Amino acid sequence: MIAIKKICCIGAGYVGGPTMAVIAKYCPNIQIQVVDINKERIDSWNNNDLSKLPVFEPGLPEIIKAVRGSNLHFSTNLVDAIKNADMVFISVNTPIKKSGIGAGQSSDLRWVEACARQISKIALGHTIVVEKSTLPVRTAKTIKEILFATNDNSNKEKSFSVLSNPEFLAEGTAIKDLESPDRVLIGGEDLEAMLALKDIYLNWVTDEKIIFTNLWSSELSKLSANAFLAQRISSINSISAICEVTGANIQEVANAVGRDKRIGDKFLKAGPAFGGSCFKKDILNLVYLSKYYGLDQVAEYWEKVVDINYWQKNRIYEEIVKRLFGNLFDKKIAILGFAFKANTNDTRESPAIDICKNLINEGASLLIHDYKVSEKSIAKDLSSLDVNSWEYLPNVYDVIMETDAMVILTEWDAYKKLDWERISLHVRRPFWIFDTRSILEVDKLENLGFNIWQLGNGSNIK
Ligand code: NAD
Ligand code: UGA
């Protein structure tokens, strides 16, 4: 049995940081170096003020406090970290390609390839290379080719095993997901290497939850799992629109449908469209793969899940414009929530971005609030627009003051507990509330004289 003593993780992002923190917590005898080319990010991971960590995740600061500097280290020194490691995790970004063949659908593998080349050059002895990033099926073949192409005659002992170990954590619940995963998937060809990785997880995950597959099943399972999850959201979002025109209520429908054990009640929450860095990219990856192998019907099937997602964001924006008399010039709109979901500071693919851009293009001035997203992130996401068209304010009540409407885009718990009587005294009339997350009590708000449109709530029909 290969005993892993030193791990290097390339990529200190939303996956690399929390994943290595949890491994460090449960494996005190393993020394872990998390490395990144982004110095600012590494500095934030090393910040003594734990509220400044680059990733906001409940439970993460406590773990970082306990293990950082002991067996978990963050640095920009890739060379030393790779040289010393028995196992190297590749946990870098794999966004959609912006140009060239497969643009808009296939993954841009430049960062993964760069990692493979560096590992190939720098590693010493036998190194187990673990794909943690989500990758197109058969990427392990590319990684192997690059690793084994090294011409380093000075180190004849150099050898590699490549494993696929996709990550299933969701942001906002990353620590919980990592500490009690539904399963841990290990794909590979080298049983000894697979057992070495399994041995690490066995420190806190039970044996029956650890699945061994071949490399390609592991890579494909990750894309498929995300596609299935996203498909459920597009399904329930499509039904939310039917509710609005028929008088049904999406929460009642989701509850009734989800009570069937074969369907299950998870991931049936209608909303302003799925965001996050992965769902869209991973489905489009599946679409690209299907087209590549001539499976056009399969590609079209999955593409529809993404189409409905665009449509959902768009129809919300249209509902807002329609209710504000078709004109947003001289109107101030409060945006409550910019993160793609609650309990994260991540805005990648957040539906808030497209909805805000569309509202600004209609002439509205936006006042934006979020509990964890920084003004800097919002500015980056809205950089194509006039800076005077929106303003970020840290206090939620300041955002709502003297506005014509409010749009709830992220389901932060605190938005459910706002002081509506106080708000009612300081807004322009008529005032509209657009609740795209269905978190508010409609009757209570109507009694205070607010107009409210709630996603999937058929009682909107007036
Ligand atoms: P991220 O952008 O937050 O982090 C990636 C990091 O890798 C960045 O800090 C970047 O600077 C660094 N990097 C890129 N190339 C490098 C190189 N050559 N050397 C050193 N550092 C390098 O991305 P993420 O959200 O952590 O996602 C990483 C992967 O995990 C992606 O493939 C994603 O699809 C997958 N994934 C993400 C999540 C999630 O919730 N975010 C969940 C499961 C899987
Ligand atoms: C998702 C998956 O849940 C993870 O298993 C996976 O590892 C990860 O993608 C990944 O590969 O990146 P994440 O995107 O962090 O995790 O968050 P989710 O909770 O899945 O939410 C994604 C989006 O769907 C959010 O915008 C959320 O608001 C939306 N959503 C989710 C709904 O609209 N309704 C739901 O019922 C659930």
Taking the whole predicted model, whether its pTM rises above 0.85 is answered as yes
Which of the ligands is closest to the CA of residue 18? 1
**pLDDT for the residue 157:** 76
User: What is the average per-residue pLDDT within 132-150?
Assistant: 93
**pLDDT for the residue 104:** 94
List ligand 1's pocket residues with C-beta within 6 A: 10-16, 35-38, 41, 78, 91-94, 111, 114-115, 133-134, 167, 169, 171, 277-278
47: pLDDT confidence band, cut at 50, 70 and 90?
very high
Q: For residue range 111-124, what is the model confidence (pLDDT) as tens digits? A: 999 999 999 999 99
- Whether pLDDT at 406 is above 70: yes
Residues 349, 280 contacting (CB under 8 angstroms): yes
Residues 121 and 150: their CA atoms lie apart, in Å, by 7
Residues 144 and 164: their CA atoms lie apart, in Å, by 12
**pLDDT for the residue 334:** 98
User: What is the average per-residue pLDDT within 74-82?
Assistant: 98
Mean pLDDT across the chain: 96
**Nearest alpha carbon, ligand 1 atom 38:** 15
Residues 143 and 156: their CA atoms lie apart, in Å, by 19
Helix-strand-coil split of the chain, %, nearest 5 = 45, 15, 40
Active-site residues, by number, are 167, 222, 278
Residues 368, 338 contacting (CB under 8 angstroms): yes
- Residue 47 C-alpha to ligand 2 middle, in angstroms? 28
Strands 87-90 and 126-131: parallel
Q: For residue range 221-272, what is the model confidence (pLDDT) as tens digits? A: 999 999 999 999 999 999 999 999 999 999 999 999 999 999 999 999 999 9
The rounded percent of the chain whose pLDDT value lies above 90 is 96
Nearest ligand 2 atom to the CA of 346 is: 15
User: What is the average per-residue pLDDT within 300-326?
Assistant: 98
**pLDDT for the residue 459:** 86
- Whether pLDDT at 203 is above 60: yes
131: pLDDT confidence band, cut at 50, 70 and 90?
very high
**pLDDT for the residue 265:** 97
- Residue 346 C-alpha to ligand 1 middle, in angstroms? 13
- List, as one string, the DSSP characters of 353-402: HHHHHHHHHTT-EEEEE-SS--HHHHHHHTTTS-GGGEEE-SSHHHHHTT
Residues 368 and 407: their CA atoms lie apart, in Å, by 10
- Residue 11 C-alpha to ligand 1 middle, in angstroms? 6
Torsion angle in degrees (nearest 10) through CA of 305, 310, 312, 314: -160
The rounded percent of the chain whose pLDDT value lies above 70 is 98
Residues 421 and 310: their CA atoms lie apart, in Å, by 35
Torsion angle in degrees (nearest 10) through CA of 436, 441, 442, 444: -150
- Whether pLDDT at 422 is above 80: yes
**Which residue among 175, 184, 279, 280 is best mutated to probe the pocket of ligand 2, counting the most ligand atoms within 8 A of its Cβ?**
279
- Whether pLDDT at 156 is above 70: no
Residues 255, 285 contacting (CB under 8 angstroms): no
Q: For residue range 328-370, what is the model confidence (pLDDT) as tens digits? A: 999 999 999 999 999 999 999 999 999 999 999 999 999 999 9
- Residue 461 C-alpha to ligand 2 middle, in angstroms? 30
